[in-house]
Structure 1
Amino acid sequence: MNKPLAIVLGGGKGTRLFPLTKERAKPAVPFGGKYRLVDIPISNCINSGLRQVYILTQFNTASLHNHISSTFIFDVFSNGFVEILAAEQTFDNNSWYQGTADAVRKNFYHFRDQSPSHYIILSGDQLYRMDLAEMLNKHIESGAEVTIAATPVSRQNATGLGIISADKKGRAVSFIEKPDPEDDISHMAFDRSLLPENQPKVDLSKEYLASMGMYIFNAKTLEKVLDNNYTDFGKEIIPIAIGERYVNTYIFTGFWEDIGTIKAFYETNLNLVSLTPAFNFYDEKRPIYTHRRHLAATKMNFCTISQSLAAEGSIITNASIVNSVIGIRTLIESGANLDGVYCMGANFYETLEQKKENEEQGIPNIGIGRGTIVRKAIIDLNARIGDGCRLGIDPIERKDGDYGYYWIVDGIIVIPKNGIVPAGTII
């Protein structure tokens, strides 16, 4: 009997997504106005009939714990769970996770209690919609010990990914981690007869197979390949397994995006507001699940809003919003102008008493102040942007760096969680 166990790798410090990971684990970063990054792999598991899911992480887990415990609650008849396993000290281990493989290795004593037949290893910072049950079935049919999810990429994009060479039957025969642009990898181009007929067509420029960082292992195989001191799947475990074991490839041609950097995070969020977004959140058959907040519908008073998303619970007054994502409970005051902005919103509404205290302390209320103009920015939860601010508007040099109450990363202004931008600020 097949009994798969899903493991979502939550990552370490999340330095590539800093400062969004300054006060939270990477899987807990808000995404798409109302979701969290971790909702993506968990929803793919649920939609694929996988009900036993572990999340492995070790930094700033409080926000993630709160989200998971209040969102993914299964009935007692399904034996389902979504459980976080943060790094912990035991009599056998007293160190933090040293890498993706090390994180799995150190939790085998938890996993064995479930008596799994297979382990499905997923990443916590990717956007995709995949039938993992089909991938598991293909893995079992192939007779492989390991299956790697792979997606076709161009030579240009191959530089930042792990590239797999597969034979005409789909068996992985070699692996190169992030080949340099000058490297000749033409011998690794895949046979197009491997492309699945039930998935979207692939552009001819995409000649190589890139690892998606998603794997299926037979349970016994995973314990064997981790019986060592290697710490990383992509750099160490997978290349060794390809050389020693039967490793198959599962080719996926649908939308897939690694959103592990600020630039990718920003661009992927703003793509959601386009007329034909690359990822479709409006799929009733395979939805993306998240926390039920029971908020009122968003109210828009005398606004001009174009090609934008607005999550529930927001109040927007006399504002102009273009090409932006407005998160939950966002308050935008009269005369504000947003263009190319992801505003994550707020965790709560301020009371009249709290707003009075803000005035006495000389700090703005949570939200976007009157007459404030913002371009090309990420505004994290509970941020306070004062009246008359000009963020990303004026023709001034903006170098990447930490500026105290804001950051600039890849040319994108980032206002951190609980950040305060005084009235009249120019960035």
Structure 2
Amino acid sequence: MTNDVISVILGGGAGTRLYPLTRRRSKPAVPLAGKYRLVDIPISNCLNAALNRIFVLTQYNSASLNKHIKNAYHFSNFDKGFVDILAAEQTPDNPTWYQGTADAVRQCLHHMENFEFEYVLILSGDQLYQMDFREMIRHHIDTGAEISIATIPVSAKEASDFGILKTNEAGEIVSFTEKPSQEVLPPWASEVSDEMKAAGRIYLASMGIYVFSREVLFRMLQDQPEAADFGKQLIPDAIEGQRRVFSYQYEGYWTDIGNIPSFFEANIGLTDDIPLFNLFNESQTIYSRARMLPPAKISGQMEKTMIADGCIIMADRLERCVVGIRTRVGKGTVITNCYIMGSDYYQTLDEIEKAKRLGHPPMGIGENCSIHYAIIDKNCSIGNGVHISGGKHLADGDFEKYTVKDGIVVVKKGVVLEDGFSI
């Protein structure tokens, strides 16, 4: 069965809701949990399900994503598996860039058509979840579906943020509405498990994960050249056109990391005693680039904190923090509720001394700092005595060195905060 599947991961658009993390990188390239990238999640889900023929479609700010995939995913010369990048390209037949999710796949059909496969698995590159795609594909085959949509039960409060699907008793999707208001919701309830009913999660939201039978996908994309997006056009058209579109219900952890608050909560949630997203399940390994880094060296008090390889932590106290690779934190510093992404390289001792002579702080976080409710992007140089206090008291705004969104301070990649800087 898995030999009959091609997986396509959509690299996403400009990612404006995740700005400034997407200022220099695409959404799927945003660092996650201190050592991964968002794109590692769908790729890992595929590899754990023995789906090893994967295309990643990229367009915006794609250099760091392309570099990560090139460095992370290598297969044996005797293996037919691959993770290949399909960058947006202008051709004589199509002089435009990708206009949407469906158009991106349409423009890449000529790269796929020479492979042997029966089914296409289409995934987003910016979601956090662990799913066995083999079960979804088996469900697709067993129901005789032409299109399968992964759905997750949500509450009435959440439903207005999603496309909501209505199913019949057989699980076939009979209607679709995009982000319905609370007033029109009641008739859209679907059959869900008793556990989901008890939680009030009775509406089926599309997860943006699709399985298409090959001929159906090719035919629809070619016959509807004006349809640019799966969720807004192609899928509703398929339902209205009475194609066999089925729901595959998923009841595990899933979150769409579409904005700064959801991204922050997903990362800080990893520090819980029993996090909703399990990084420690060996049957659902999260793959990424292998780095030859030394163990972390830690002094000070740590509580509910994850620390990646290669860190030197001399802080007084870290609480509910995710600390990325190669992070350096000086003595006397207190950090709470923060995601520190780390650094791409180490400064040498000579480089650190040169920076000090020039009056610049070395890369990392200095001594006697106080940092709360913040995301520190990669390669930042934060001096001594810096004070950052995020929270609802701060108004949203975009500034030269940082951005504030919903009380979360995001220090931009590579900036220098001089000694005594305060937010």
| TM-score, length of structure 1 as denominator length | 0.95
**Once the 2 structures are TM-superposed, how far is the Cα of residue 260 of structure 1 from its aligned partner?**
1.4
Closer, same or farther: CA 396–186 of 1 in aligned 2, 3 Å: closer
Q: Paired residue for 1:214?
A: 209
Identity of aligned residues (%): 43
Question: Contact conserved, 1:29 with 1:37, CA < 8 A, in 2?
Answer: yes
1:132 lines up with 2:127 in the alignment: no
Q: Which residue of 1 aligns with 2:144?
A: 143
1:63-94 residue CA offsets vs partner (Å, 9 max, x unmatched):
11111111111112220111111111111112
For the pair 1:399 / 2:412, whether they are aligned, the reply is no
Secondary structure at the counterpart of residue 266 of structure 1: helix
Q: Which residue of 2 aligns with 1:305?
A: 302
Runs of 4+ deviating beyond 6 Å: none
Q: Secondary structure at the match of 2:171?
A: coil
When the two chains are superposed, the root-mean-square deviation of aligned CA atoms in Å is: 1.5
Tell whether the 8 Å contact from 1:202 to 1:253 is kept in structure 2 after alignment: no
In structure 1, the partner of 2:339 is 342
Q: Tell me the amino acid that sits aligned with residue 395 of structure 2.
A: K
Q: Number of aligned pairs?
A: 419
Mapped to 2, the partners of 1:77 and 1:32 lie a distance apart of 33
1:43-81 CA-partner distances (Å, limit 9, x unpaired): 000000100111112011111111111111111222011
Letter in 1 for 2:156: R
User: Residue 82 of structure 1 aligns to a residue in which SS?
Assistant: strand
Contact 1:319–1:332 (CA under 8 A) maintained in structure 2? no
SS in 2 for 1:95: coil
**1:88–1:396 Cα change, 3 Å:** closer
Structure 2 equivalent of residue 109 of structure 1: 110
Counterpart mapping for 1:217-232 below 5 A = 217-227=212-222, 228=224, 229-232=226-229
Q: Secondary structure at the match of 1:365?
A: coil
Q: Partners of 2:359 and 2:197 in 1: how far apart?
A: 56
Name the CA distance, whole Å, in 1 between partners of 2:78 and 2:136. 26
Q: Which residue identity is paired with 2:371? A: V
Please report the TM-score for the alignment, with normalisation by the length of structure 2. 0.96
Contact 2:377/2:410 (<8 A) preserved: yes
Aligned residue runs from structure 1 range 8-407, under 5 A: 8-181=9-182, 183-192=183-192, 195=193, 203-227=198-222, 228=224, 229-244=226-241, 245-301=243-299, 303-392=300-389, 397-407=393-403
Which ranges of structure 1 fall in alignment gaps of 5 or more residues? Answer: none
Q: How many Å apart are 1:115 and its aligned residue?
A: 3.0
**In 2, distance between residues paired with 1:163 and 1:31?**
28
Whether the 8 Å contact between 2:393 and 2:407 is mirrored in structure 1 is: no
Query: Where does the alignment leave 5 or more consecutive residues of structure 2 unmatched?
Result: none
Deviation at 1:280, TM superposition (A): 0.6
Cα distance between partner residues in 1 of 2:96 and 2:416:
36
Secondary structure of 1:408's aligned partner: strand
1:114, distance to aligned residue in structure 2 (A): 1.5
2:153, 2:196 within 8 Å by CA — same for their partners in 1?
no
TM-superposed CA distance for 1:331, in Å, is 0.2
Of 408, 419, 423, the match for 2:415: 419
Deviation digits for residues 187-242 of structure 1, max 9, x if unmatched? 121123xx4x9xx8664400110000000001110112212211111111111111
Residue type of the partner of 2:419? A
Q: Offset of 1:185 from its aligned partner?
A: 2.1
Q: Residues 344 and 381 of structure 1 are in contact (CA less than 8 Å); yes or no, is this contact kept in structure 2?
A: yes
